[in-house]
Amino acid sequence: MKEGMRRSFNFNGKVTLNGNRNSNIPPCVEHMERQLVQTLVTLYPGKKGEVMKYIKLAGYENAAAYDLIDRTVGHDAKTEFLYKGRPRFPSKIGKAAQQ
């Protein structure tokens, strides 16, 4: 086999592997986010400060932390304490419309 053909096959294999890896990462991250917030709500029921502390340690700040809570556990009886005193952040739709 010629050297050029071998390199071509090797490149195609790397592209395929990278594409597979990149398509598998988002569902894994979503699962990990959901598990993190569910675990924190279970371990610290009624302790918003503790839950928010660990969410911030995971790298989420302010509005992103509340977005994480919304998309993972949502608003129900078990998570009511996370919504008390929640600051109002401008919606992303409103910002896009203003620009």
Residue environment code for 10-21, b if the CB has 16+ CB neighbours within 10 A, otherwise e: eeeeeeeeeeee
pTM beyond 0.85, yes or no:
no
pLDDT in tens, the chain (99 residues): 555 555 555 666 666 767 777 777 888 889 999 999 999 999 999 999 999 999 999 999 888 999 999 999 988 899 999 988 887 765 554 444 444
The H or E element that residue 17 is part of is helix 3-43
90 phi-psi bin (left φ>0, alpha ψ -120 to 50, beta other): beta
Mapping DSSP to helix (H, G, I), strand (E, B) and coil, where does residue 6 land? helix
